[in-house]
């Protein structure tokens, strides 16, 4: 049975050309980048070239690039590092309820310290912040705002230029988690007026374990770890030279958005939604236009989220949910909760996020499998249009089995 991977927002496949760049560095004797011998200088050279590549891509200075282990570290370094470095100016911070947990948990850690106050902005039913409400939330001692450019679950894109303009006028630092935007939409650091940007390689066909934080020159940052003077004393630890080189190659290949492919993906997800909308009890979550072109978030009323994902996987569809499974129970997505999506809808939500590996001609087969899975799961649960069934009720093993015709 052919499988279809529809989970690019979780991680993309490693491009063979990226792997080809990394392999010589993994198989040869590559030294520690801090060592002075030839092997060490070779590793340092790879990192320096990669840093130049990243800087050229971002239209930035090489000294503004801080390599990290990935997006989570980049977000934590930005949020906690900037807040602590500028605490003397003020201790009020602003973020949004729909941020990735890498950002939200970093802010909550600052709150728990008792040293900072955090305002968590609401979003509307389509996942967008209200610019007037944002402006009114700013206080005289506000020092840092962190708002993601595009949401990982819904794909909703925030008005970055307008946010940046408000921050710039108030002299407030502006960090953005642009991890989902990279390779999917064009972004402009100068136009957004950002102070720091978090990125990672594996969302754009690069390797796992490589990320970066772009930090505007002259902006102080408190380091989170101790143990070395790496990355201009901002992030100690031996750099992962092969992964960093792979990240640079991924940027070379995917850093400039392919507008033709982007438009194709937008049309594909729109067609997918039109097909799914013909089913009873479905809803789309997030703004239909102001979104990443590859992302579609859909809820199916009357189903159990974990069982739906298992059944779709057995049907050959790799898809993620908007909810987190914890010890056999399903906890509704904080993103959907912030958007006001009712629990009975949020309970069975899936996120379709495609890449170039999904072709136009794959749509009909993918839709056929989804429809069969949804209808079969609903039949097992006795769901009928207009009825409400508790998603918390745990089905039997028989209920979560997929119908043989799908396989």
Q: Collect all residues with Cβ–Cβ distance below 8 Å to 53 and sequence separation of at least 6.
A: 248, 251, 252
Rounded CA Rg of the chain: 22
Distance set, CA 70 to CA 67, 77, 176, 215, 275 (Å): 8, 11, 15, 15, 36
Determine the Cα angle at 159 with ends 157 and 163, to 5°. 135
Give exposure, 338-356, as e/b (b: 16+ Cβ within 10 Å).
Answer: bbebeebbbbbbbbbbbbe
| 3-state class (DSSP) for residue 322 | coil
Rounded distance between C-alpha atoms, residue 107 and residue 280, angstroms = 40
The upper half-sphere exposure of residue 174, i.e. CA atoms within 13 Å in the direction of its Cβ, equals 24
**Which residue has tokens 């379709």?**
352
Choice among 75, 167, 325, 403 that is catalytic? 325
CB 176 within 8 A of CB 167: no
- In angstroms, the CA 58 to CA 65 distance is 10
Active site residue 325: yes
**Tokens, residue 17:** 């050309």
SS3 88: coil
Round to whole Å and give the CA distance between 37 and 316.
50
Q: Token pair of 253, please?
A: 């290949």
Residues designated as active site: 325
């Amino acid at each position: 049975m052919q499988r279809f991977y529809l989970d690019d927002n979780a991680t993309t496949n490693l491009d063979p050309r990226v792997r080809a760049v990394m392999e010589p560095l993994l198989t040869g004797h590559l030294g520690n980048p801090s060592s002075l011998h030839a092997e060490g200088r070779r590793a340092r050279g790879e990192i320096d070239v990669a840093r130049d590549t990243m800087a050229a891509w971002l239209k930035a200075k090489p000294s503004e690039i801080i390599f990290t282990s990935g997006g989570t570290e980049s977000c934590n370094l930005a949020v906690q590092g900037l807040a602590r470095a500028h605490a003397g100016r003020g201790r009020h911070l602003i973020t949004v309820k729909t941020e990735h947990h890498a950002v939200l948990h970093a802010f909550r850690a600052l709150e728990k310290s008792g040293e900072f106050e955090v305002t968590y902005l609401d979003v509307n039913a389509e996942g967008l912040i209200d610019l007037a409400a944002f402006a009114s939330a700013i206080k005289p001692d506000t020092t840092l705002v962190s708002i993601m450019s595009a949401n990982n679950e819904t794909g909703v894109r925030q008005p970055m230029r307008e946010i940046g303009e408000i921050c710039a006028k108030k002299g407030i630092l502006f960090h953005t988690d642009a991890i989902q935007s990279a390779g999917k939409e064009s972004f402009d650091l100068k136009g957004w007026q950002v102070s720091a940007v978090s990125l990672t390689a594996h969302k754009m066909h690069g390797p796992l374990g490589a990320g970066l934080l772009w930090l505007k020159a002259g902006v102080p940052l408190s380091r989170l770890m101790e143990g070395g003077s790496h990355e201009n004393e901002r992030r100690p630890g031996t750099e992962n030279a092969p992964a960093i080189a792979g990240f640079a190659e991924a940027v070379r290949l995917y850093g400039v958005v392919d507008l033709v492919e982007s438009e194709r993906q937008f049309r594909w997800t729109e067609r997918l939604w039109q097909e799914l909308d013909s089913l009873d009890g479905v809803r789309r979550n997030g703004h239909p236009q102001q979104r990443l072109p590859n992302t579609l978030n859909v809820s199916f009323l009357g189903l159990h989220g974990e069982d739906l994902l298992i059944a779709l996987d057995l049907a050959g569809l790799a898809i993620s949910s908007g909810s987190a499974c914890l010890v056999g129970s399903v906890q509704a997505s904080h993103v959907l909760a912030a958007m006001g999506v009712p629990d009975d809808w949020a309970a069975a939500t899936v996120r379709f996020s495609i890449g170039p590996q999904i072709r136009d001609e794959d749509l009909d087969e993918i839709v056929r499998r989804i429809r069969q899975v949804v209808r079969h799961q609903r039949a097992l649960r006795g769901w009928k249009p207009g009825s409400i069934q508790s998603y918390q009720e745990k089905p039997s093993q028989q209920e979560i089995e997929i119908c043989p015709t799908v396989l």
